[in-house]
């Protein structure tokens, strides 16, 4: 969150996102204030990827019971919605002002399994899965659409986190097309890089060799 706040000041146009913020690790009010502040300072450029987490050792370190992660995540997401809906909010019997109160950023719920899909349909604009195999992703997207339709909500976005083979642009384009074919609406390329120059090379490859191939589809 500190990095996103830094980038909000250092940039003017790019989107700023988390993929994903593990909600049980943080107090709900502190999380809501961070999100609101970044959204305000960036002029509404934040995309909030949020999830329940999974790594046992991390839950031990932060002193949170792992078996409570789903319930904590749901409560935090519900709290976020209330905070962005009114200047004055009540929690634990205490009323407080929630300002600044910019427009709530889109929420993309991470995770796998039915609990994550139900959470996305209840609280989010879409789902943010780790995705490499379109065939495995397709039935989950179909179920997600059914959940959104049952809730009388518009069709969900599916923001897939994956790693494209940038050294093989044609293969990368084929993989991205396959994901789009099963219902993925946006793709986040996730990879490690040694320095800023390596990051810039990756971005240039995507802009000059991957994106044009997709636009021709």
Across 100-109, average pLDDT: 98
Its sign, for the CA torsion 167, 169, 171, 176, is: positive
Q: Which residue in 118, 185, 124, 127 sits closest to 150, CA to CA? A: 118
pTM of the model: 0.94
DSSP string, the chain: -HHHHHHHHH-SSS-EEEEEEEGGGS-HHHHHHHHHHHHHHTTS-EEEEEE----HHHHHHHT--GGGHHHHHHHHHHHHHHHTT-SEEEETTEEEE--S--PPPPEEEE--SHHHHHHHHHH-SEEE-B-S-HHHHHHHHHHHHHHHHHTT-PPPEEEEEE---TTSHHHHHHHHHHHHHTT--EEEE----SSHHHHHHHHHHIIIIIHHHHHT-
The pLDDT tens digits for 148-201 are 999 999 999 999 999 999 999 999 999 999 999 999 999 999 988 999 999 999
Q: Which residue has the higher pLDDT, 190 or 44?
A: 44
Please, what is the average pLDDT of the chain? Answer: 95
pLDDT band at 2 (very low <50, low <70, confident <90, very high): very high
Question: Who's near 18: CB < 8 A, 6+ residues apart?
Answer: 1, 4, 47, 48, 49, 50
Question: What percent of the chain is predicted at pLDDT more than 90?
Answer: 94
| Rounded Cα–Cα distance for residues 43 and 104 (Å) | 12
Instruction: Spell out the residues 6+ positions from residue 153 whose beta carbon is closer than 8 angstroms to its own.
Output: 121
Looking at 71-75, 147-151, 210-214, which range is the least confident one? 210-214
| pLDDT for residue 131 | 87
Mean pLDDT of 47-60: 97
- The yes-or-no verdict on residue 217 having pLDDT over 70 is no
132 CB-contact burial (10 Å; exposed 0-12 / middle 13-18 / buried 19+): middle
pLDDT tens-digit map of 121-158 = 999 999 999 988 999 999 999 999 999 999 999 999 99
Q: What would the mean pLDDT of 17-43 be, rounded to a whole number?
A: 97
Write down the pLDDT at residue 215: 83
With 90 as the cut, is the pLDDT of residue 1 above it? yes
């Amino acid at each position: 969150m500190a990095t996103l706040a830094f980038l909000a000041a250092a940039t003017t146009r790019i989107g700023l996102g988390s993929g994903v913020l593990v909600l049980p690790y943080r107090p709900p009010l502190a999380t809501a204030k961070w999100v609101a502040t970044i959204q305000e300072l960036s002029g509404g450029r934040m995309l909030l990827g949020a999830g329940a987490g999974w790594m046992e050792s991390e839950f031990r370190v932060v002193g949170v019971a792992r078996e409570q992660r789903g319930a904590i995540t749901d409560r935090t997401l519900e709290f976020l919605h209330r905070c962005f809906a009114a200047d004055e909010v009540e929690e634990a019997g205490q009323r407080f002002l929630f300002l600044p109160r910019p427009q709530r950023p889109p929420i993309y719920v991470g995770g796998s399994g039915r609990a994550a899909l139900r959470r996305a349909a209840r609280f989010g604009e879409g789902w943010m899965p780790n995705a490499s195999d379109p065939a495995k992703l397709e039935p989950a997207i179909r179920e997600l659409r059914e959940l959104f339709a049952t809730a009388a909500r518009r069709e969900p976005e599916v923001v897939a986190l994956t790693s494209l083979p940038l050294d093989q642009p044609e293969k990368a384009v084929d993989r991205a097309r396959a994901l789009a074919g099963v219902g993925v609406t946006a793709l986040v390329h996730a990879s490690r890089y040694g320095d800023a120059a390596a990051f810039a090379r990756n971005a240039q490859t995507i802009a000059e060799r991957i994106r044009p191939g997709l636009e021709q589809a």
